[in-house]
Amino acid sequence: MPIPALEPIELNERKLLYDKFASILAEDKNLSRKLVSFQANKASPIYRWFKYKEGFSSELVKYYINKFNIIGKEVLDPFAGAGTTLFSSSELGCNATGIEILPVGIFAADVRRAVERVDLKKLAKTAKEIWDKVDKALPSRQFIKHIPITAGAFPEETERDLNQYLSVCESIGKEQGLILKFAAFTVLEEVSFTRKDGQYLRWDYRSNRTLGGKPFDKGRIVPFREAISRKLSEILDDVSPLKNQTLFFEEEKGKKGEITLFEDSCLTKLNDFKENSFDLVITSPPYCNRYDYTRTYALELVFLGADNETVKQLRQSMLSCTVENKSKEEEMRLFYKERNQESTFTQVMYVYQECAAMQEILSFMEGFKVNGTLNNNGVVRMIRNYFLEMCFTIYEMARVLNQGGKIVMVNDNVQYAGEEIPVDLILSEFAERFGLTVSNIFVLQQQKGNSSQQMGNHGRTPMRKCVYLWEKL
């Protein structure tokens, strides 16, 4: 369908914003797509054990800590994921604070700390004896309590073995039990009828699901006992004292910094921190790309005990990046009012509403919604909510940053109905309005392609994948 005429705005405001920041759009030869994604972590055990694809590499964190001479200072990651920023900063002697709302990342970080404390010889002995204990154990209670989007995810034998295995893990000492439980956590997709596929779980034709479209065959579905035995061997081999390596990354000399991780939303938790508390913020927020973490990681959430209502609440509490997210504007207004900070709420809302380029985009998207160009009308609400919540987040990051401190943020631009949304420029304008200097927007040479559906309708249009550098001068 043709793009609707929306005179007189056209592309004027986005062009003006691009012209404003054009001189600082640059390439940094030290940055690559591998470095700013999970790919560079693949050689590290924790990421071999569990492929947590959200976030960036340890090398990126260390690159910026060394580049800015932040060693031994205070680092913050308000979207901490599995803790890459925290553990990498700690290795360089920095005290690292993180906020993460998704239990999946919290669990992975907890396991990483458990591995550093556990008696490895005892762990190896327990793992060797695990199946004898499983076979001798009484029938277990149902540890995996499915919700509608995960019901029937496992073959019956796998479901039974998984629950029996978890009952034994619960009876083992805290650190050993946690690591053994994590081994099962890492193979859930492998032993199920599902595969993570962008915004949702794709179901194999052998499941009991009623599926539309072309049947999906994920290939061999590995029996639980085979998968868990292989995973335990992999973990034990990686942590073997005989290996001349550290557990996760190349260890740096010197005293490690303290790690503090909060399971919370950065939209509210950031406000608890005092002004001028951190020397470096390095983070990667969810992208404005309809990626629903609560569906992609549904099996893992159920494994960790989340029920259907918990998952729904989590989806709404996370930064808005799905079409189902409702506005948090009233929630934020009440939050700041309860803390006697109404002026802060007013200030942030003013900056948000005065962003002409963003308002232009929303006008275009509303036009697409009217003429049916959007494949989901919730996209407009998602974009509006995403920028509102990021505006609050950037305000708080600027507030807690020390004078002379720096913010490094990894993010991607996105595209809907053939229109690229310059996330990098809009967020940088927010940062500038809150007193930060936008020093650079580093554009990766290998840019991000649009989705297959977008390419089919609008052609291949590469979008900027960037690392922003903001400073509090």
Amino acid at 311: V
pLDDT at 457: 45
Distance CA 103, CA 350 (A): 33
Distance CA 324, CA 294 (A): 11
Distance of CA 51 to the CA centre of its chain: 12
DSSP 420: E
pLDDT at 46: 65
The pair phi, psi for residue 424, each rounded to 5°, is: -60, -45
Distance of CA 286 to the CA centre of its chain: 6
Query: Which parts of the chain sit beneath pLDDT 70?
Result: 1-11, 38-47, 139-140, 241-254, 446-461
pLDDT digits (tens, 9 = 90+) for 230-277: 999 988 888 876 554 444 444 445 689 999 999 999 999 999 999 999
Distance of CA 244 to the CA centre of its chain: 31
pLDDT at 447: 53
pLDDT at 424: 97
The superfamily (CATH) of domain 12-102+260-291+323-471 is Vaccinia Virus protein VP39 (3.40.50.150)
**Is the peptide bond preceding residue 45 cis, with omega within 30 degrees of 0?**
no
Contact between 359 and 13 (Cβ < 8 Å): yes
- Measure the CA angle with vertex 47, ends 462 and 128; round to 5°: 155
SS3 category, 98: strand
> Which residues share a beta bridge with 77?
98
pLDDT at 461: 61
pLDDT at 254: 64
Print burial letters for 448-469: b (CB count within 10 Å at least 16), e (below 16). bebeeebeeeeeeeebbbbbbb
DSSP 207: S
The token pair at 398 is 């600027």
In 42-155, which residue ranges form alpha helices assigned H by DSSP?
45-49, 58-67, 84-91, 103-117, 120-136
Distance CA 272, CA 196 (A): 35
Which residue in 191, 190, 131 sits closest to 165, CA to CA? Answer: 131
Amino acid at 232: L
Distance CA 258, CA 95 (A): 5
pLDDT at 316: 96
SS3 category, 347: helix
Phi-psi label, residue 290: left if phi above 0, alpha if psi -120 to 50, beta otherwise: left
Distance CA 412, CA 465 (A): 4
